[in-house]
C-alpha cells in the first residue's frame, strides 16, 4: 500500500475517483492528506442510572445520548474528561481500491483534544460523512466551532480492489451513507445477532 501525495490527491479528486464535498479551499489539501472540517451536529451521553452499556441489550443505544445542533458562529465546548460524537462537514466517497484513515490535526492534539478513539479507519467503498469520536484529555475546556478544520484524512492505495467493498450487498455496512453523527450499531453485528438467536 502507498499513501497518496498531494499531487495524487488532486488528480484523484479531479477524476472523481475520490470525492470530498464540499471543499471550501484548496488549502485543505496538505502534502499527504486533506483537512476536514467539523459539522454542526453533536451527540453526548446522558447521565443515566443504568450501570453499563450492554451490546446484547435490545435497548436502543440512541436513548443513551442527547442530540443537539450548534448554531452558526457559536462554539461547542468540550470539557475535560468529556466524550462526544460529532461529524465532518464534508462527505467522503471512496472507490473499491482506496482505504483512508482519519487522524487528528496536531493543532487540536496540542490542546488535548482527540478526534477519534479507535474508529479512524475508513473502508474502501464507504460514502458519507465521517463520525468523529471527540475526547478532551486535557485540563481545560476547549471551544470547537463548526466549520473549523479539526482532522485530516489520509488515503492509501490497495494492491487490488476489494471484492466486497463497504456498501456491497453481502457486507454488513451499518454506517453507509451517514449524514450526521451515528451512535454505535454494535447490536447489529453478525456475531451478536447470532448469539441472541
The residues annotated as belonging to the active site are 133
Instruction: Yes or no: say if 39 and 180 are a contact pair by the CB < 8 Å rule.
Output: yes
Query: How far is residue 49 CA from its own chain's centroid?
Result: 29
Instruction: Yes or no: say if 101 and 120 are a contact pair by the CB < 8 Å rule.
Output: yes
Q: Give the max Cα distance, the chain.
A: 52
Within 10 angstroms of residue 30's Cβ, the number of other Cβ atoms is 16
Separation of alpha carbons 136 and 114, rounded Å: 6
**Alpha-carbon separation of residue 120 from 22, 96, 102, 123 (angstroms):** 21, 18, 5, 10
Instruction: Yes or no: say if 185 and 174 are a contact pair by the CB < 8 Å rule.
Output: yes
Q: Which helix (H) or strand (E) holds 65?
A: strand 65-69
Separation of alpha carbons 172 and 126, rounded Å: 12
DSSP letter at 112 equals T
Instruction: Yes or no: say if 90 and 102 are a contact pair by the CB < 8 Å rule.
Output: no
Amino acid at each position: 500500500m502507498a499513501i497518496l501525495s498531494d499531487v495524487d490527491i488532486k488528480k484523484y479528486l479531479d477524476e472523481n475517483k475520490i470525492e470530498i464535498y464540499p471543499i471550501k479551499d484548496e488549502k485543505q489539501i496538505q502534502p499527504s492528506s486533506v483537512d476536514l472540517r467539523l459539522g454542526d451536529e453533536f451527540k453526548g451521553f446522558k447521565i443515566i442510572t443504568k450501570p453499563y452499556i450492554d451490546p446484547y441489550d435490545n435497548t436502543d443505544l440512541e436513548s443513551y445520548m442527547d442530540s443537539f445542533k450548534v448554531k452558526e458562529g457559536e462554539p461547542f465546548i468540550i470539557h475535560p474528561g468529556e466524550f462526544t460524537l460529532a461529524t465532518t462537514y464534508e462527505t467522503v466517497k471512496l472507490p473499491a481500491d482506496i482505504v483512508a484513515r482519519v487522524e487528528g490535526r496536531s493543532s487540536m492534539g496540542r490542546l488535548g483534544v482527540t478526534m477519534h478513539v479507535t474508529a479512524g479507519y475508513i473502508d474502501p467503498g464507504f460514502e458519507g460523512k465521517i463520525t468523529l469520536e471527540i475526547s478532551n484529555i486535557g485540563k481545560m475546556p476547549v471551544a470547537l466551532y463548526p466549520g473549523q478544520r479539526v482532522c485530516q484524512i489520509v488515503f492509501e492505495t490497495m494492491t487490488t480492489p476489494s471484492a466486497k467493498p463497504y456498501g456491497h450487498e453481502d457486507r454488513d455496512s451499518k454506517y453507509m451513507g451517514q449524514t450526521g453523527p451515528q451512535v454505535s450499531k454494535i447490536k447489529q453485528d453478525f456475531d451478536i445477532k447470532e448469539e441472541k438467536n
